[in-house]
Amino acid sequence: MNKSEIINIFNSIPLADTHEHLLEEKDRLKNPAYKGYNDIGLLFRQYVESDLIVSGMSERQADLIKDETIPADSKWKIIRQFWPLIRHTGYGMMVRETIRVLYDENDISDSNWKKINDKIAAQVKPGFYDHILKDICNIDHCQVNALDAPLYRKSERADFLMDLCVSRLCSDFDVMLVQNILQRPPEKLDDCIEAIDRSFMDFGPKSVAVKNPSAYRRKIDYNVRELNDVKQCFNHCREKDWQVNRLERKALEDFLVYHTIKKATESGLPYKMHTGYHSGHGTMPLHNLRHNAGDMSNLCRLHPESSFVFMHINYPHQDELIALAKHYPNAYVDMCWSWMISPLAAVRFLKEFLTAVPANKIFLFGGDVSLIELLPGHLELAKKGIVQAIAELLTEGWLAAYDVEGLLQRLLYQNAYDLFPVKRLKKTFTP
Ligand SMILES: [Zn+2]
């Protein structure tokens, strides 16, 4: 079996996309906040911006690329200085693949940037989400973690299955959000629990998973806490009007995380956690990342009835994630975002994972983007990496040709249906 035969099998399978931050189409079309997005700067937002800055672009220049009052030719003059430096990174390749798939150009240069710029603007019209998701990407559904709503966003699409994001109710405790939910300030620990319970009551049945991205802001060393210590911690925070540092509120946050895990399990929802590499630039504390796998193993051991989905392959500590998923029946791995963080690390990871861990423990793709135009480029990178991993396993004799179709069907589609309430949510969708 050669690579093009593997690609044909890949293309024939509708894709269960397990992690996106996609905006709604109606907002891209009508919300004034996104009015200035639709020019050449669009391709260099979000992740790509970080590579540009790391390569030497100033923050001021990065801001100009996003500024709707700046003409597109001025933006290109800035971008072109740094593009040769980042065009070979995963983020840069994602841009080139997007340009190829969506705008029918092989690369971007002085001679064609204007043409691409015009095509970007022209494509943003009613129905462009369907065109990209269905016609181009063959996506069955996306799990979406909305960043433009505090907990949950109701979607206009039946194929957007939304996460319930709980971090601000527990591990990034936000007293104002709790107050909004309760319509009064929390006066005792039970009030914090009530805010969580209400959120699960309101959004749990409509959600596909629970999401906790707190690893961006703290270690995920959620310890078992004595109730009295937690109450004392709550009282201390309240007396200080919540002007407390992370250490002072840790006992409360740890305790509330456990409550969200309990509620997720009762609601039949997997608990997704950010692990490993941070988006952005100039801030990531690598010490914290080193401990993610050990901290995750504690959670898996203490909650054998709960299902955890660890995201982004815990890069650069992906080997430990293989050990975790192999050892714990309740540990699952989502390769979302990994194909553009480090495409070759993702290829190595997938090969090693498939020869060490049961095939139902992994989800292969989530674009992890807000702007839908960046999704096809990332998917092309993932496809290339997945096909390479499978082809190498075949050549090296770890996999037989007759395994490939069934395996890809499971990895790209079936696994998501088996773990998440996809079928129920798609059936009961009301616009
Ligand atoms: Zn994400």
Provide the Cα torsion 406, 409, 411, 412; round to 10°. Answer: 160
| pTM (predicted TM-score) | 0.96
For the stretch 144-195, pLDDT in tens is 999 999 999 999 999 999 999 999 999 999 999 999 999 999 999 999 999 9
Distance from the alpha carbon of residue 13 to the mean position of ligand 1, in angstroms = 24
Retrieve residue 231's tokens. Answer: 């109450």
Distance from the alpha carbon of residue 368 to the mean position of ligand 1, in angstroms = 5
Among 365, 344, 352, smallest CA distance to 322 is for 352
For the stretch 107-142, pLDDT in tens is 999 999 999 999 999 999 999 999 999 999 999 999
Q: Judge whether residue 431 has pLDDT over 80.
A: no
pLDDT of residue 430: 79
Which contacts (CB < 8 Å, 24+ apart) does range 66-75 have? 66/36, 66/41, 67/36, 67/41, 68/35, 68/36, 68/37, 69/36, 72/39, 72/40, 72/41, 72/114, 72/117, 73/114, 75/39, 75/40, 75/41
Residue type, 65: I
Distance from the alpha carbon of residue 108 to the mean position of ligand 1, in angstroms = 27
CB 288 within 8 Å of CB 219? yes
Distance from the alpha carbon of residue 139 to the mean position of ligand 1, in angstroms = 18
pLDDT of residue 336: 97
Q: How confident is the prediction for the chain on average, in pLDDT?
A: 96
Mean pLDDT value across residues 286-299: 93
For the stretch 9-61, pLDDT in tens is 999 999 999 999 999 999 999 999 898 899 999 999 989 999 999 999 999 99
Q: Judge whether residue 285 has pLDDT over 80.
A: yes
Query: Percent of the chain at pLDDT above 90?
Result: 96
Mean pLDDT value across residues 250-268: 97
Query: Percent of the chain at pLDDT above 70?
Result: 100
Cα distance between residue 163 and residue 140, in whole Å: 17
For the 133-427 domain, the top CATH level (class) is: alpha beta
For the stretch 322-338, pLDDT in tens is 999 999 999 999 999 99
Residue 32 is given by DSSP the state G
User: Dmax of the chain from CA atoms?
Assistant: 68
pLDDT of residue 427: 85
For the stretch 206-247, pLDDT in tens is 999 999 999 999 899 999 999 999 999 999 999 999 999 999
Neighbours of 96 (CB within 10 A): 20
Using CA atoms, how far residue 243 sits from 184, 189, 229, in Å, is: 18, 17, 19
Cα distance between residue 58 and residue 96, in whole Å: 22
Mean pLDDT value across residues 379-385: 98
Distance from the alpha carbon of residue 44 to the mean position of ligand 1, in angstroms = 17
pLDDT of residue 35: 86
The pLDDT confidence band at residue 429, using thresholds 50, 70 and 90, is: confident
CB 170 within 8 Å of CB 259? yes
Distance from the alpha carbon of residue 397 to the mean position of ligand 1, in angstroms = 35
Cα distance between residue 371 and residue 22, in whole Å: 6
Concatenating the DSSP letter of every residue in 212-225 gives: E-GGGTS-------
Distance from the alpha carbon of residue 127 to the mean position of ligand 1, in angstroms = 24
Distance from the alpha carbon of residue 29 to the mean position of ligand 1, in angstroms = 23
Among the residue ranges 29-43, 330-344, 353-367, 404-418, the one predicted with the least confidence is: 29-43
Distance from the alpha carbon of residue 147 to the mean position of ligand 1, in angstroms = 9
- Within its chain, how far is the Cα of 406 from the centroid? 26
Mean pLDDT value across residues 371-396: 98
Distance from the alpha carbon of residue 365 to the mean position of ligand 1, in angstroms = 12
Mean pLDDT value across residues 411-426: 97
Q: Judge whether residue 299 has pLDDT over 90.
A: yes
Cα distance between residue 198 and residue 201, in whole Å: 5
| Cβ neighbours for 40, distance < 8 A, ≥ 6 positions apart | 72, 75, 76, 79, 113, 116, 117, 120
Mean pLDDT value across residues 77-103: 97
Query: What residue spans define the domains of the chain?
Result: 39-123, 133-427
